Structure 1
Amino acid sequence: MRQSDTKVLTVFNPILRNANELWAPRVEFPSVYFVDRYVFQQHRIHVPTACPGTSAFPTGFIGATQAEQDSYVSAFFNGVHKWLPVLDEERFRARLLGKTPAELPADVALLLLCMRLITSAPSESSRNGTRTELHLVAKQGFLNLEMAGVLSVECLEAGLLISLYEINHAIYPSAFLSVGACTRYGQAMGFGGPNTLKLRPPYNRSELEESRRLWWAVVLLDRYLNLGSPSRLVSVYDPPDDGSMVIYDDSQETASANSFGSSKLGRRDQGCPALIAQATRLLGKVLWHTSHNYGSEMGSEMGSEAQCLELGSSLRERQEKESSQLGRTIASLIDAAVTEARKWAVPIEEQLMICYSSLLVLYNDSKACKGDHMRWDEQTLAAVETTRATVIERCRDLLSDSLSSLESISPFFLHCIYMVAILGQSEPHSVAGTRNVLVKALRRLERRWQAAGVYIEILEAREILQSP
């Protein structure tokens, strides 16, 4: 182990510092919640919450002053929150007012730490500049609260930000395992189904909407991890379709950024979270479709060769129809979202990248399996070309504006760039120029999100495989 690594561990690992100072859990979680649902409900057993003064990590990492905390909290809400709006900004800020780090509940302090983590830039002096002391402290803090029996929305939100940080910087297998931990954590709290036992039912409409957004965000990251390997089983099913997802934002800034509502603070309309939910649902359908091996359905039921060919032809035809229908549905969602966004003057570029990723993955699968898209209608094929053009134009804008912020870039944009690069262009003469633009955009994005550099390496590996 390097000396610097030892220093990092001793900062937050009490075992290495002094066994007598081992962080001790102070929460007694009622085991009956998991062992016997009926008894838990009937006796209305109290579930303790994280108390102030029980921080699971050194509180110095979240900053000693309110101004220091406000700096990265504002950076979070002006960055990541713009494309993945989960937290209620005003409710969160209200919990921080007038409190020192030692006075914050352990789960709120951890969420604050993870906001600082996701807004921190990688070190330019180190190849592993994202595996920082802050990252290790956040991971250890999350584990400590889990061992203490703390189950809360704030803890799950912290886990979500840790997962997103690891995805954005391609820290694997940690990213994959962290998202899996979030899905199980959420299920333990009662997320994921209409009939599941809720550990703490939402107190008001604001808490209800925040919990919905949070769970959809967890499902979205789970789907993202399967983009490169659709046959891998997802960790969680889509949430039930419980009607429209109305968003109630409690600040003017958040309302204008995350909803299609008017400028009046009292009016709240469906917005970006609703688009994320619908796009995530369609992404799940795309992953299921592209991973489904129709040939395996025949299995041992195959009869003669003629019967096998007939059955195989029927299955392929069904798959082509499903692919075409799914493509039309995604294209329709894109059109509807763009129309609404234009109507209310709300930027939804990053949320649309989820739809673009789905469409490009579906198109690539259809191209690989059939070699053409005879069953795809003109509208859907036009949507694919528009998607390509949009991603390329976005890359050009990124390169032409050196001052543009990269904080609110979603990992789906990186994936879209990669997909456009491997799909090529419909006009052969422009392939080289377009690829150059895409790679340059990834290199610029790598300065902030190191997953972009991984995509560049994979593109180079593909070139080697395709070379004569």
Structure 2
Amino acid sequence: MPQHIPRSAVSALFLSTDSFNPLPPGSLGPKGQVPGQFLEGLQNVEEIRDLYFSSIHRWLPMISKARLTQASNDPQLKYDGTTVLLLTCMKLVTTTPHRNKAFELPLYQLAKQFYFCVETAGSICIPLLQSSVLIAVYEFSQGLYPAAYLTIAQAARHGTMMGLHYRGKAARMFHEAETWTQREEERRTWWAVLLVDRYLHAGTYGFPIITCDPVKENFLPCDDASWDTGLLGLNESFLSSTPSRSLKGGQFGTLCRTCHIFGRVVRHKYDDILEIPDKLNEAIQLNRAIIALESTFEDPTTGCEFKDCDVCRALCYSARMILYNMYAYNQRYNGTDIQKASIEGMATIGLSVARMAGRVQEAVMTNIGAVSPLICHCLYQAAGRCARSLRENCQSGMKMALTTIIDTFSMLRDRWRICDDYLKLLEVEDGIMVES
């Protein structure tokens, strides 16, 4: 149960950090029994856990299975508001609302109301932060803007208060976690915040990324197999140029490494401080870094693409298309190395995304719930690129690529309603007509 902490003890963190003493972990949380309306939808906790871990957890493995199982099996669960909230959000993010009814979904309204109640009660903890991430995932994947943008901003502030952004250096609300599992869960949850924050800025211009870039003290999550089985795993630096064998393939650590480079591209897009030569040099370096990272998504002996890397691959393709759109057809950069690389990349990237989209279609047929919505913006960018290529020169294979990408969108719209919004944009921007 949360301890009684004087309000002044918490205020000191913000008023005079030098006078603040970190609090015991878990000491800030809601007290008393959870109101009945928030417990009604949790009659089958095991079913909620199983569905979540077989779907969302496959691409966003931030929650400790062991910790959650222990907490949710506790007979005193009705007194554990943050775990009840987390289970509610796990149920929410695995629920598909009726078309155009994502906001009105009673479970969404309940989760938002419950989150507000728990936060207002003064709770600050990892389950609450995880809950806000899952709410943001539901919101952006179902097309609820600006709610998603605001929710992930709230999560960023929450994690910053806990010192997760700069371990060992920044002031933090609580003492350092005692066990490796607790520290790993904190690490994974913070990377999840960084990932969603950067993804939500993919299509914006001039909106600064909310979270700061990771520092060298922000190690990558360990390999997913060790995490899921509760074993100690290796944590390596995200600055490492060559990922270890354990983090190759479709690992969350690889996705985190990818999201860092993706974030650098987003920042590069709206940077107006660098001089032109420096910005061009940075663009070349970013393009090389992305391509080098993409090369780790292939079997070095056969050249075959790993199927479990498609979320990472989608972020890489998306980052490259952001760069290429900046430099390929801008006369200001005529003759520069980055313009040459951009024009060459534009000619083939639509075909690359189409190959990925074909694999996504296979995954949809197997388990649509496990397909990540993080691939959607890449599909949108590539569809627009293919449509423009067809208008310009009818490049061989581009029509089939466009058809494959649109078909993938049509399959995913049954799970992620944001696909409808992307298809409407493609209709307006590129005249691509899709049956409702």
What TM-score comes out, normalization by structure 2 length? Answer: 0.82
Show the counterpart of 1:39.
Answer: 19
- Counterpart amino acid of 1:180? A
Shift of 1:456: 0.2
Does structure 2 retain, via aligned residues, the 8 Å contact 1:226–1:234? yes
Judged with a 3 Å threshold, the aligned counterparts in structure 2 of structure 1 residues 250 and 416 are, in CA distance, closer, same or farther, namely closer
Show the counterpart of 2:119.
Answer: 146
Aligned mate of 1:453, from 417, 420, 423: 420
Show the counterpart of 1:198.
Answer: 172
Between 445-454 and 364-373, the greater mean CA deviation after superposition: 364-373
Judged with a 3 Å threshold, the aligned counterparts in structure 2 of structure 1 residues 100 and 403 are, in CA distance, closer, same or farther, namely farther
Show the counterpart of 1:281.
Answer: 260
How many residue pairs get aligned? The number is: 409
Shift of 1:406: 1.9
Show the counterpart of 2:400.
Answer: 433
Shift of 1:458: 0.4
Show the counterpart of 1:92.
Answer: 68
Question: Distance between the aligned counterparts of 1:337 and 1:357, measured in 2?
Answer: 15
Judged with a 3 Å threshold, the aligned counterparts in structure 2 of structure 1 residues 45 and 285 are, in CA distance, closer, same or farther, namely closer
Aligned mate of 1:183, from 156, 166, 191: 156
Question: Distance between the aligned counterparts of 2:187 and 2:259, measured in 1?
Answer: 13
Show the counterpart of 1:222.
Answer: 197
Does structure 1 retain, via aligned residues, the 8 Å contact 2:166–2:218? no
Does structure 2 retain, via aligned residues, the 8 Å contact 1:79–1:407? yes
Aligned mate of 2:104, from 131, 142, 165: 131
1:177 aligned counterpart, secondary structure: helix
Question: Distance between the aligned counterparts of 1:143 and 1:186, measured in 2?
Answer: 17
Unaligned segments of structure 1, at least 5 residues = 1-25, 261-267, 298-314
Judged with a 3 Å threshold, the aligned counterparts in structure 2 of structure 1 residues 464 and 269 are, in CA distance, closer, same or farther, namely closer
- Counterpart amino acid of 1:50? G
Question: Distance between the aligned counterparts of 1:459 and 1:396, measured in 2?
Answer: 20
Does structure 1 retain, via aligned residues, the 8 Å contact 2:30–2:122? no
Does structure 2 retain, via aligned residues, the 8 Å contact 1:395–1:437? yes
CA RMSD of aligned residues (A): 3.7
Question: Distance between the aligned counterparts of 2:414 and 2:234, measured in 1?
Answer: 30
Show the counterpart of 1:17.
Answer: none
Show the counterpart of 2:240.
Answer: none
Show the counterpart of 2:290.
Answer: 330
- Counterpart amino acid of 1:331? I
Q: Percent identity?
A: 21
Judged with a 3 Å threshold, the aligned counterparts in structure 2 of structure 1 residues 389 and 190 are, in CA distance, closer, same or farther, namely same
Per-residue Cα deviation, 1:371-393 (whole angstroms, up to 9, x for no partner) = 87851499887776665334212
Question: Distance between the aligned counterparts of 1:202 and 1:270, measured in 2?
Answer: 24
Question: Distance between the aligned counterparts of 2:255 and 2:395, measured in 1?
Answer: 34
Shift of 1:293: 3.5
- Counterpart amino acid of 1:458? L
Shift of 1:165: 0.6
Matched, 1:211 2:186: yes
Question: Distance between the aligned counterparts of 1:274 and 1:49, measured in 2?
Answer: 30
Judged with a 3 Å threshold, the aligned counterparts in structure 2 of structure 1 residues 269 and 242 are, in CA distance, closer, same or farther, namely farther
Shift of 1:247: 1.4
Judged with a 3 Å threshold, the aligned counterparts in structure 2 of structure 1 residues 192 and 407 are, in CA distance, closer, same or farther, namely same
Between 317-326 and 378-387, the greater mean CA deviation after superposition: 378-387
Question: Distance between the aligned counterparts of 1:141 and 1:119, measured in 2?
Answer: 18
- Counterpart amino acid of 1:119? T
Between 239-248 and 191-200, the greater mean CA deviation after superposition: 239-248
Per-residue Cα deviation, 1:255-310 (whole angstroms, up to 9, x for no partner) = 89x999xxxxxxx944623212221221121012111236xx7xxxxxxxxxxxxx
Matched, 1:422 2:384: yes
Per-residue Cα deviation, 1:193-240 (whole angstroms, up to 9, x for no partner) = 242122222121111111111111111211112111132111121121
1:210 aligned counterpart, secondary structure: helix
Question: Distance between the aligned counterparts of 1:51 and 1:188, measured in 2?
Answer: 18
- Counterpart amino acid of 2:106? E
Matched, 1:413 2:388: no
Shift of 1:47: 6.9
Per-residue Cα deviation, 1:84-123 (whole angstroms, up to 9, x for no partner) = 22111122212222436414x1111101110000001122
Does structure 2 retain, via aligned residues, the 8 Å contact 1:27–1:148? no
Matched, 1:59 2:38: yes
Question: Distance between the aligned counterparts of 1:150 and 1:50, measured in 2?
Answer: 4
Question: Distance between the aligned counterparts of 1:40 and 1:139, measured in 2?
Answer: 31
Judged with a 3 Å threshold, the aligned counterparts in structure 2 of structure 1 residues 362 and 38 are, in CA distance, closer, same or farther, namely same
Judged with a 3 Å threshold, the aligned counterparts in structure 2 of structure 1 residues 401 and 225 are, in CA distance, closer, same or farther, namely closer
Aligned mate of 1:109, from 84, 91, 96: 84
Does structure 1 retain, via aligned residues, the 8 Å contact 2:126–2:186? yes
Matched, 1:121 2:81: no
Aligned mate of 1:364, from 312, 315, 325: 325
1:389 aligned counterpart, secondary structure: helix
Per-residue Cα deviation, 1:149-189 (whole angstroms, up to 9, x for no partner) = 10001100000000011010110111111111111111122
Question: Distance between the aligned counterparts of 2:181 and 2:363, measured in 1?
Answer: 38
- Counterpart amino acid of 1:155? L
Question: Distance between the aligned counterparts of 2:330 and 2:229, measured in 1?
Answer: 44
Question: Distance between the aligned counterparts of 1:27 and 1:351, measured in 2?
Answer: 42
Does structure 2 retain, via aligned residues, the 8 Å contact 1:32–1:39? yes
Does structure 1 retain, via aligned residues, the 8 Å contact 2:364–2:371? no
1:206 aligned counterpart, secondary structure: helix
Per-residue Cα deviation, 1:101-150 (whole angstroms, up to 9, x for no partner) = 414x1111101110000001122xx5224531110111111111111110
Shift of 1:434: 2.7
Question: Distance between the aligned counterparts of 2:162 and 2:421, measured in 1?
Answer: 35
Per-residue Cα deviation, 1:51-94 (whole angstroms, up to 9, x for no partner) = 67442672334422xxx221121121111111122111122212
Show the counterpart of 1:263.
Answer: none
- Counterpart amino acid of 1:31? S
Show the counterpart of 1:78.
Answer: 54
Does structure 1 retain, via aligned residues, the 8 Å contact 2:61–2:224? no
Judged with a 3 Å threshold, the aligned counterparts in structure 2 of structure 1 residues 246 and 156 are, in CA distance, closer, same or farther, namely closer
Shift of 1:46: 8.5
1:453 aligned counterpart, secondary structure: helix
Show the counterpart of 1:19.
Answer: none
